[in-house]
Amino acid sequence: MLRDFQTDKTLGEYDVCVVGGGPAGITLALKLVENGLRVALLEAGGLAYSEASQSLYAVEKQGLDLYAETTRLRYLGGTSNHWSGRCRPFEAADFTTPLPTGLPGWPISFEEFNRTLPAAMKILDLPEIGFSATHADMPGGLFSADRHAQSAPTRFGEKYLAAMKSSPTLHVHVNCNLVDLVFDPGSGAVSHLVVADYGGQRARIKAGRYVLATGAIENARLLLNSASLKSAALPAFRWVGRCLMEHLNVDLGTFMAAEGLQANDLQYFTSQALVTREGVGRGNIAFGKLAEVVSYGRTAAIKTFMKNLACNLGVADKAQFITHFQCPGAGTIGTLLEQFPSAQGSRVELADVRDALGLRKARVIWTLAPEDKQTIRRLSLAVAKNFAEAGLGFVKLHPAMTNEALDLPVSPHAHHMGTTRMASSAEWGVVDENCRMFGVRNLYIAGSSVFPTGGGGNPTMPLIQLALRLSEHMGRLGARM
C-alpha cells in the first residue's frame, strides 16, 4: 500500500519500521513482509525527483570533494535511480586480511556473508553466468582479469513499485522524512520516530523494531542528530560517523596499447600476492582506450613524447621496445581502489547550520590516510611495470605517482561506506553481527554504512546481501520484541 504523507497522515503500528526507500530499504521491507511481518517503509522523497527533497542532502565539506549533494538521490528508489549497475562480490581475503590502520575487519565469516549472494544476484537481475572477464589475466601473477557482472541497472523504485503497492502488510509512506529517533534509556530501546512532511508538520510512528536504511552519510547524520541517543552516551555512539570510506578513483596516467591488443576494455584486479607483498588495498585498474582521439589532445602529446624518445634515447632496450610499438589504441587509466577505514580520518560530523526541517546538516570530511596514498603510489608503479613486462603496452604515469610533493588526482565513485561500522563489540564499532546498534535493543542499520572495510568491489550487491541476511534474522525474531 502506498500513502503520501504530505496529504495523508494515517500511520499504523508496525512490527518493523524501515526508514529509506533505496536498494537496502526496499529489499529489506519486501522480504520482511514475506516473513509475515507488518512493515512501514518511510521514504523522504516522492515517486520522482523534487528540489524540496534533494536540497535536504546539502552538506558542508572538508578535504576532497565527495559530491555528496549530486551523487545521492532522495526519492523512492534512492541512488539506484542513477546507479550504473556494476557488481563485484567481496572475496574471502576481504574477511581475513588485517587492516594496516589497526582497526578490526569483518566480525562475520566470508562464508556467512556469501550465503545470500545467489538471492542478491536475482534481485539485481544479474546474468546466471555470474561474474566474468572478457580478457586474460595479466602475465606475472600480480593482476588478474577483473571478474564482474552488469545489472540492468535495476532501478529499485520502478521495478518494485507494483509489489510494494499491492502488499496489504507493507505501508510505504512517501514524502515522509525521519527527523528524530527517540531513545528511552529506561527500556534501552527506541520508543518512537518523529517524521515530518515538507510543510514541517510532524507526527510520531511506533514499531517493535526500527531500521535505518538512508545511505551511509544520512544514517550517520540521523543518529548524530538524535538528542536522546546522544545524551545516553552509549559507548558505540562515539563511532557514529567515523571511518567513512570511498573507492578511490585515481587518474593514474595514460597508456599506449601494444599492436594487436584486441581488448577494448581491459580491467585488472589486484592479486592477494600483490596486496600482501606491497601492504596495499585491493581494487580494479582499468585501461580505457580512447580510440577516437589517438592523434590529438593528451594522447598526441604522449605519441610525440614517445617518438622523440624512440629516436633520441640512448637506452637500447627501451628504444627497441618503443620502436616496435605501434599505436592502434591509446587511453587513460582509472581505478576503483580500496580506501582503508581510519578512526581519525575521513568521517561524517554535524555542521552548525540546519536544514529546512531543523536538522543539523552533515559535515563530510574526506581525506586520504598515509595508507591510502601508499596504496595508490605502490599499485601504480606495480601496474605500469607489469603492463610493460607483459608486452601489453607502455604506461606513462601521472607525475604525482612518483613525486610525493604533488597532490594525488583522486575523485570519488559515489560508494559511501563505513560510518556505522560492524564490529564484535562497541569498543570497535556501532552495530553487531546482526546489524543491531550496540546498546539499543530494537535499532538496526542497513546499507554500506555498516561495512567495516570496503574491499575493491562495488558496494550495492554486498549491501543487498546484508539486507537479505537482516531480513532472515528479523524473520527469526518474529513480531515479538
Ligand X SMILES: Cc1cc2nc3c(=O)[nH]c(=O)nc-3n(C[C@H](O)[C@H](O)[C@H](O)COP(=O)(O)OP(=O)(O)OC[C@H]3O[C@@H](n4cnc5c(N)ncnc54)[C@H](O)[C@@H]3O)c2cc1C
Residues near ligand X (CB under 6 A) are 19-25, 42-45, 71-72, 74-75, 78-80, 82-86, 177-178, 213-215, 218, 222, 414-415, 447-448, 458-460, 463
219, 18 contact by CB (below 8 A): no
Q: Which is nearer to ligand X, 90 or 143 (CB)?
A: 90
Q: Which is nearer to ligand X, 67 or 110 (CB)?
A: 67
Alpha helix segments (H runs only) across 20-102: 23-34, 51-54, 68-71
Distance CA 25, CA 401 (A): 40
Least gap, CB of 318 to ligand X (angstroms): 38
C-alpha cell at 337: 581502489
Cα–chain center distance at 217: 11
Least gap, CB of 397 to ligand X (angstroms): 26
- Position with the least CB separation from ligand X: 22
Residue linked to cell 607525475? 399
CA-angle at 378, arms to 141 and 403, nearest 5°: 145
Q: Which is nearer to ligand X, 83 or 438 (CB)?
A: 83
Q: Which is nearer to ligand X, 396 or 436 (CB)?
A: 436
Q: Which is nearer to ligand X, 29 or 333 (CB)?
A: 29
C-alpha cell at 477: 525474531
> CA dihedral in degrees (284, 289, 290, 292; nearest 10)?
-150
Sheet holding 360-366, edge to edge: 59-63, 360-366, 347-354
Q: Which is nearer to ligand X, 219 or 342 (CB)?
A: 219
Least gap, CB of 458 to ligand X (angstroms): 3
Q: ω before 153 within 30° of 0 (cis)?
A: yes
Residue ranges of E strands in 151-308: 170-174, 177-184, 189-196, 202-212, 249-250, 253-257, 265-270, 283-289
Least gap, CB of 226 to ligand X (angstroms): 12
Q: Which is nearer to ligand X, 335 or 386 (CB)?
A: 335
Least gap, CB of 208 to ligand X (angstroms): 19
Least gap, CB of 153 to ligand X (angstroms): 7
Least gap, CB of 260 to ligand X (angstroms): 31
Residue linked to cell 634515447? 313
434 three-class SS: coil
